[in-house]
């Protein structure tokens, strides 16, 4: 008798519990003479997806998914615009500070020149 956990891939032989000892997920018990082999299980777990969509399932994105994607794009654009504005503002402040500092230095030099110190 094999017990198989389809959540964490635990395979145990002769396990008495109804739940997986690793993750607590219910175990599937195979009591037939021919049990699932580890290779078959790995093949099942490795399967990416069904080759065709399920009946009644439209593979196209739903309206809610499309709207959510648009909201994300708009939010990203707003964030990028704010970052650009912040960079421009910092650059303007830096240029203003440089201009003010150079005006102060020029004024001090002019005063010193008028006083005859230079």
> 27 and 76 share a domain?
no
* Chain CA centroid to CA 71, Å: 16
Q: Is residue 105 part of a domain?
A: yes
List strand residue ranges (DSSP E) for 1-118, in order: 2-4, 11-13, 28-30
Lowest mean pLDDT among 5-19, 30-44, 79-93: 30-44
- Nearest CA to 6 out of 15, 14, 19, 17 is that of 19
Give the span between the Cα atoms of 73 and 75, in whole angstroms.
5
More confident residue, 71 or 43: 71
Write down the pLDDT at residue 38.
Answer: 64
Please indicate, yes or no, whether residues 103 and 78 belong to a single structural domain of this protein.
yes
Taking only the tens place, the pLDDT of each residue in 16-34 is: 777 888 888 888 777 655 5
Same domain (yes/no): 118, 70: yes
Do residues 70 and 32 share a domain? no
Q: Are residues 8 and 37 in the same domain?
A: yes
pLDDT greater at residue 115 or residue 36 = 115
Q: Are residues 70 and 42 in the same domain?
A: no
pLDDT at 74: 97
In the prediction, which pLDDT does 88 show?
95
What is the residue range of 75's domain? 62-118
Report which DSSP code applies to 97. H
C-alpha to C-alpha distance for 91 and 94, rounded to whole angstroms: 5
| 18 falls within a domain | yes
* Structural domains counted in the chain: 2
Cross-strand partners of 2? 13, 30
């Amino acid at each position: 008798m094999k017990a198989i956990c389809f959540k964490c891939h635990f395979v145990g032989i002769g396990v008495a519990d109804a739940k997986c000892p690793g993750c607590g997920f219910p175990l599937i018990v195979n009591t037939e003479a021919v049990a699932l082999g580890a290779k078959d299980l790995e093949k099942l777990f490795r399967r990416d997806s069904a080759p065709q969509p399920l009946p009644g399932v439209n593979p196209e994105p739903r309206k809610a998914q499309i709207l959510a994607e648009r909201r994300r794009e708009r939010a990203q654009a707003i964030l990028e615009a704010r970052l650009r504005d912040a960079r421009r503002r910092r650059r303007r402040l830096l240029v203003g500070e440089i201009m003010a500092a150079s005006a102060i230095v020029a004024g001090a030099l002019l005063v010193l020149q008028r006083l005859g110190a230079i």
